[in-house]
């Protein structure tokens, strides 16, 4: 039996990964570690919270002593690290919180894993530290287009798509060019993860993914925000002319990619995960055989339908009632 810590498992992407692992691997013990900040919602996992192979631990990844004790108590074999502050606008207003969580929190996890695994007779054998990052560490896609053709470049909302317009691509060997406190903090955490492999031999993997969308996303992000505002007949806030182009990845496809990379990815490798899989030299396609199951049109239709069918979830999130769920479920345990 493997024991896996998934950090940020009550968040948007993390809850999908937790659900996938709990359901797919009944012989694994899945430990969901989440601080339950505004974006962490245990109601996202109501369907699996009583499974015998699942445990929730409320903890701050920056609390080294707590994380190290948990590593020892649970005899952890692997870490899938998703916990992060991730909203660009919030990072602009409060860069210190992003540096603390994304950089120092990652360093805390790395050091706890290093000390525990190095204390074992087998040391790093069979162990894995998998760090989930963002394509925003690369900066912005530099878009080119033939003379006379103007934006928008892609009718499919994909920054890594539509070669007819001469788009350039994010690749794993691009230099980092973060442009916000959020992406700068994520870039720094990526470097720490790679440094722990190069310095100590820790078996690490880093993936950089594009924008995720789908069920259970906190409505500060673009798609659920628009769905909720349309539902309540509120204005739709759009930056500039609304011509920013990003690649979009359905969250369940991202979870499937994380599963595949955790089990079959090459140690010390970096993988880019994109929604349309047309990124140059993307190892996930060439090496691991992963591809998304949904194109954007079908994915966005599923997403809108989910939010409309789960209006109680949205109402609880927007009102703040979801934050009472932890107290109701775990008080006295």
Confidence band of 70 (pLDDT split at 50, 70, 90): very high
How confident is the model over 214-225, as pLDDT tens digits? 887 877 666 777
pLDDT digits (tens, 9 = 90+) for 110-132: 999 999 999 999 999 999 999 99
pLDDT the model gives residue 239: 52
Domain holding 111, by residue range, is: 3-136+180-330
Q: Supply the pLDDT for residue 164.
A: 29
Paired tokens of 304: 């809108």
Residue 172 lies in a domain: no
Strand partners, 272: 208
Cα torsion angle, 292, 86, 19, 28, sign: positive
Residue from 132, 160, 136, 135 nearest 275 by CA: 160
Burial pattern 42-66, b for ≥16 Cβ within 10 A else e, equals bbbbeebbeeebbbbbebbbbebeb
Runs of H (alpha helix) within 232-292? 251-264, 283
Q: What was the pLDDT predicted at 144? A: 47
Mean pLDDT of the chain: 82
Q: For the chain, what is the domain count?
A: 1
pLDDT score at 141: 57
Between 23-27, 149-153, 226-230, 236-240, the lowest mean confidence (pLDDT) is in: 149-153
Whether residue 269 is contained in a domain is answered as yes
* Digit-coded pLDDT (tens) for 287-320: 756 676 766 778 878 888 887 888 887 888 888 8
Q: What is the β-pairing status of strands 29-34 and 3-7?
A: parallel
Q: Which of 13-22, 187-196, 289-298 is least confident? A: 289-298
Query: Is 146 domain-assigned?
Result: no
Binned at pLDDT 50, 70 and 90, residue 16 comes out as very high
Q: Is residue 185 part of a domain?
A: yes
Chain CA centroid to CA 93, Å: 22
Q: What is the CATH number of the domain that holds 15?
A: 3.40.50.720
Active site residues: 135-136, 182
For position 168, what pLDDT does the model report? 52
pLDDT of residue 306: 82
């Amino acid at each position: 039996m493997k024991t896996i810590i998934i950090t940020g498992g009550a968040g948007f992407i993390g809850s999908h990964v937790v659900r996938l692992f709990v359901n797919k691997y009944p012989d694994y013990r899945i430990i969901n570690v989440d601080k339950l900040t505004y974006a962490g919602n245990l109601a996202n996992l109501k369907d699996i919270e009583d499974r015998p192979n699942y445990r929730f631990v409320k903890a701050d990844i920056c609390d080294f002593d707590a994380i190290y004790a948990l590593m020892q108590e649970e005899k952890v074999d692997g870490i899938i690290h998703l916990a992060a502050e991730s909203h660009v606008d919030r990072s602009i207003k409060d860069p210190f919180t992003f540096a603390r969580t994304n950089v120092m929190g990652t360093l805390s996890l790395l050091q706890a894993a290093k000390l525990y695994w190095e204390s074992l007779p087998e040391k790093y054998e069979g162990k894995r530290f998998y760090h989930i990052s963002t394509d925003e560490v690369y900066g912005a896609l530099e878009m080119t287009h033939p003379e006379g053709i103007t934006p928008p470049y892609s009718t499919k909302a994909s920054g890594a798509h539509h070669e007819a317009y001469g788009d350039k691509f994010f690749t794993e060997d691009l230099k980092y060019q973060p442009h916000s406190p959020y992406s700068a903090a994520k870039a720094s955490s990526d470097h720490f993860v790679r440094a722990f492999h190069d310095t100590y031999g820790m078996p690490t993997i880093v993936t950089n993914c594009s924008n995720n969308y789908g069920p259970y996303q906190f409505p500060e992000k673009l798609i659920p925000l628009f769905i909720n505002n349309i539902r309540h007949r509120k204005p739709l806030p759009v930056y500039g002319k609304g011509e920013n182009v990003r690649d979009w990845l359905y969250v369940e496809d991202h979870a499937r990619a994380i599963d595949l990379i955790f089990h079959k990815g090459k140690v010390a490798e970096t993988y880019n995960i994109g929604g349309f899989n047309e990124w140059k030299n993307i190892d996930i396609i060439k090496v691991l055989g992963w591809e998304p199951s949904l194109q954007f049109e079908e994915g966005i239709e599923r997403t809108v339908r989910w939010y409309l069918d789960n209006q109680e979830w949205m109402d609880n999130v927007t009102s703040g009632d979801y934050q009472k769920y932890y107290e109701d479920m775990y008080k006295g345990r």
